[in-house]
Structure 1
Amino acid sequence: MLVHDVVYHLEMTSPAELRPARPSGAAVRLRETGTEDVREFREIHDRVAGPHGWPSLTWPESRWREHLARPGVRAWIAEVDGRPAGLAQLQAQPGHTVEIEYFGLAPEYVGNGIGGHLLTLITRMAWEIAPVEEPRGDGGGEIRRVWLRTSRSDHPHARANYQARGFRLTHEEPWEREFVIAGPR
């Protein structure tokens, strides 16, 4: 089904802009993952993405392997009380920039304070990643910008959570896309 959506671009340009959320009462842990755990990452991705029709729901395992193997990519599965509850993926990019490419919680974990705490942890990690080596050899220094995209189709509180953590809206753009309805694999 074709949907008319809006994509919101948000950014932080200093780690001092982060407004941390209070830790949730749950035991939240981030477990780094990669191409060796692509099936598990994809399973939690599909639980997070399903209600929002993310286009990546249609990706085959081979595309996920390529995606996670890209230079500068780091990914985590968020666990709550030892069970997969969400995911986060960062990509260091040229220009001393890091994009939060994927972030979210499975529906059963939404609404109990975990999202803000998890976003705080991931944003701190984004500021600590080593910059990507630039073609002219300028890989040194520190990250200067952390950014992300969210859309009107994401959880209704997603944008508010990002802004509550200190991300500010830089621009928005219309987006016509296919809303993917996840089915059994």
Structure 2
Amino acid sequence: MTLTVTTWSLEQNSPDEQRPASAPREEVRIVRAEVPSAEFSRFLYTAVGQDVRWTDRLGLPYEQWQREISGPGAETWVAYVRGTPAGYAELAAREEGVVEIVYFGLIPAFRGRGIGGHLLGIAVARAWDLAGRHPGLPPTKRVWLHTCSKDGPHAMDNYLRRGFTLFDTAVTEEPDTADPGPWPGAFPAPRD
């Protein structure tokens, strides 16, 4: 069985295009995970992506996963609500002055609480300032990301509100993995 997936690629070409979100209703701390940890990264990936079937990294061996999050210009930013991880953004310097927001999202229990816009706004600001934190990286000229029809219903709107513009759309057929995530029943039932 296959699933038709639409993928949208979005970009910003100037730091002047970024639009921060208003502060969330509750106290949220955004902290950089300064020690790259494949185990922590895999936890965030499965917790955020479980209900939208993120699977592209699940087959990676430990060493490759560690390389993905440890390279020059790779950073992971984690949103915490009262000490609990609520979501994350993974940044990676790709080409000369290009930064990709590789992964971004919230754990299902934290969606719809005003946290996503705040986290994305900080991640975008950090992407534009990546060279200032990593000696030897060129200044950022472009920040980009992609989202798809499997992502949450508010993902695209959040990206557009933060100043991203659409530059490409692709439709593909993917296997319908029906993977429940880290364990069956791990995510809450959808809210009405």
Q: TM-score range with shorter-chain normalisation?
A: 0.7 to 0.9
Aligned equivalents of 2:128 and 2:42: distance in 1? 25
CA RMSD in angstroms comes to 2.3
Partner letter of residue 38 of structure 2? V
Deviation of 1:60 (Å):
4.6
Deviations 1:7-41 (Å, cap 9, x if unpaired)?
Answer: 10000111111111101122222222266532222
**Runs of 4 or more consecutive aligned structure 1 residues displaced over 3 Å after TM superposition:** none
Decide which moves more: 98-107 or 74-83: 74-83
**Unpaired segments ≥5 residues, structure 1:** none
Partner letter of residue 99 of structure 1? E
Paired residue secondary structure (1:58): coil
| 1:38 corresponds to 2:35 | no
Paired residue secondary structure (1:3): strand
Q: Which position in structure 1 is the counterpart of 2:140? A: 143
Deviation of 1:54 (Å):
1.0
Q: 1:34 to 1:67 in 2, by over 3 A?
A: farther
Q: 1:40 to 1:139 in 2, by over 3 A?
A: closer
Q: 1:36 to 1:18 in 2, by over 3 A?
A: closer
Partner letter of residue 118 of structure 1? L
Percent identical among aligned pairs is: 35
Question: Which structure 2 residues correspond to residues 109-124 of structure 1 after superposition, within 5 A?
Answer: 109-124=110-125
Q: 1:26 to 1:38 in 2, by over 3 A?
A: farther
Q: Which position in structure 2 is the counterpart of 1:20? A: 20
Q: 1:78 to 1:56 in 2, by over 3 A?
A: farther
Q: 1:73 to 1:179 in 2, by over 3 A?
A: farther
**Residues matched between the structures, number:** 179
Partner letter of residue 147 of structure 2? T
Deviations 1:119-162 (Å, cap 9, x if unpaired)?
Answer: 1010000000018x9xxxx954x211100000011011101100
Q: Which position in structure 1 is the counterpart of 2:94? A: 93
Deviation of 1:86 (Å):
0.6
Paired residue secondary structure (2:131): coil
Deviation of 1:73 (Å):
1.2
Contact 1:74 1:90 in 2 (8 A): yes
The TM-score with structure 2 as length reference comes to 0.84
Q: 1:178 to 1:77 in 2, by over 3 A?
A: farther
Partner letter of residue 79 of structure 1? Y
Aligned equivalents of 2:146 and 2:12: distance in 1? 12
Contact 1:34 1:69 in 2 (8 A): no
Question: Which structure 2 residues correspond to residues 1-185 of structure 1 after superposition, within 5 A?
Answer: 1-33=1-33, 36-56=36-56, 58-60=58-60, 62=62, 63-130=64-131, 140=138, 142-180=139-177, 181=179, 182-184=181-183
Q: 1:143 to 1:68 in 2, by over 3 A?
A: same
**Unpaired segments ≥5 residues, structure 2:** 185-192
Aligned equivalents of 1:113 and 1:139: distance in 2? 32
Deviation of 1:76 (Å):
2.2
Deviations 1:48-70 (Å, cap 9, x if unpaired)?
Answer: 10111012362355132122123
Partner letter of residue 174 of structure 2? R
Contact 1:38 1:61 in 2 (8 A): no
